[in-house]
Amino acid sequence: MGIRRSRYTWMVPKGIDLVSNLLTQPFQHIFSLTLSCYIITTFDTYTFLHLFLRFAVIGPLLAILALVLLPVATVGFLLWILLNHFGASNIQPYRLTTPDEGDGKNSMFSSECPRRFTFMSANVICVPEFIVRINNVRNVYWRMKEIARRFLKQNRDLNIPNLLNHIQGENLIQDKLPEVDVMMLQEVSDKWANYSLVSSLTARYPYIIYDVGVHSFGTNCFLMGSGLFLASRYPVLAVNFHPYHNILHYGHLASIGVLTAKLDLGSVPGKDGEELRGVGYVSNTHTQAYQGKKLVIARQLTELQETVRQFISETHNPDKEVIIFSVVGGDFNFDNMSPGDRPTRIHPLFTEYEDPCRECEGEDKHWAVGTEHRQRQLSHPAVSNSTIFKHILMNKVERRKFIIDADILEQTSDLMYSSPKIDPVTGELMEVMGGGGRRIDLLLLRAGDRVRFASFWFLTIISSLSDHLPVAMMVERIDEDQRWKEQERREWEYQLG
């Protein structure tokens, strides 16, 4: 069965979905705003009048309105449960936009396969407002529009290799976005955010997979979706979503997992002169946050690896297609250097897929930068200015004020309030191993594919709008001779290390 735009095969469940949303969405937003009145961020004004209005006037009024809407929302939620419980076998766990009418099928070949491809991963925290504020961010309704606006301001002049020759750190940290072919976003859980981003991005990215999630008692208690969002310039041929079975605490309320799409990249010449289809596989994931002493992320990576392998095996036709690349990206919630993350970073996934920012297990490249913000510093004026923040990230000492160090012993919610360690003698910040280096947003490329790393960027384009630093990667196609040389290099490095 071909992929389709809607989650549903016929009109009745589609109508039930619409009615359910109309009944529940007003309550969800009003309730979220009610809670938000009592969650103060560092962006907020602390005057007595401001706090009085929030706590004693606006909050209670919103609470009363939420109570009025509660009975109607309860009916809508019951409809949602019944729809997903009894209709699960016929529900597609995502929605898809395509430029053509129909079931999502595309023409055999649209054009010649390009030489280079660029990917971006960003956690944009477009979730209900009270969760946004818990993470010391603000106003999801304004941010979703602003984030889309900044994502569309792309600079094609940046799409030149910066990893193939002498690598200069200042070329890898950018306050502008290169031209991106595939966007992988995380934490787009709010339905309004999904539709808003689709509306804003669809002109440049005609193929968008959104509203992703399996809704059941076992995955998310019928509450939040996965938050995964994938926008592509290339036609989508097949899609798969796998919700993780190994989950903890909040993971039982959100359908976290891995979203994989097969893309039509255009035609490539075969060995005998015949025309083949070039295809690429892109996987977007968001793993468990704050796993504590339980190594649930490693088990999720095993699920990811097995799911992606199976999807490629089931959808690839070697007689008519050539796999150009398989890329995995997302918010992995662990880094390559923290002592507490060692059991995860030695996972076999990092043998099958390569991380361009890794020197080896436990050590990043000298130019790599952390991507997890110190949340309490998001309102700092330096973070709000993407150009100033770019220059701060180039300084290994200064960036420790704003990016978490890669020295984590255990992942807990205490990371939300962490501060950099200072020199006990001088009382000042100093350069330390892994300082400002907690790099949890990754883009990985499968070893042995028909491309190589060409560029990598750490981006300040949505500074202060998210608690994560977006990353982007460009790969370029290689011929068979180069491919074998790359394979020999990897084998040699494996034998050495």
Contact 373, 417 (CB under 8 A): no
Q: How far is the C-alpha of 146 from the C-alpha of 137, rounded, in Å?
A: 14
Instruction: Scan for tokens 């025309």, then name that residue.
Output: 275
DSSP 3-state assignment of 179? coil
Contacts of 469 (CB under 8 A, 6+ apart): 369, 370, 371, 372, 373, 393, 403, 441, 458, 459, 460
Side-by-side strand order, sheet with 229-232: 95-97, 207-210, 229-232, 182-188, 116-126, 471-477, 451-459, 173-174
- Spatial CA neighbour of 121 closest among 400, 329, 355, 275: 329
Q: How far is the C-alpha of 205 from the C-alpha of 208, rounded, in Å?
A: 7
Contacts of 324 (CB under 8 A, 6+ apart): 113, 117, 265, 268, 278, 279, 280, 449, 450, 451, 477
Residue 468 annotated in active site = yes
DSSP 3-state assignment of 247? coil
User: Between β-strands 229-232 and 207-210, what pairing exists: parallel, antiparallel or unpaired?
Assistant: antiparallel
Taking the CA atoms of 65, 70, 72 and 76 in sequence, report the sign of the dihedral they define.
Answer: positive
Query: Residue 143: enclosing H or E segment and its boundaries?
Result: helix 140-151
Contact 132, 31 (CB under 8 A): no
Looking at 242, 347, 373, 468, which residue is catalytic?
468
CA 11 from chain center: how many Å? 32
Greatest pairwise CA separation for the chain in angstroms: 77
- Spatial CA neighbour of 376 closest among 142, 187, 138, 135: 135
Q: How far is the C-alpha of 371 from the C-alpha of 278, rounded, in Å?
A: 32
Contact 277, 322 (CB under 8 A): yes
| Residues linked to residue 96 through DSSP beta bridges, in sequence order | 209
Q: Looking at the annotation, which residues are catalytic? A: 468
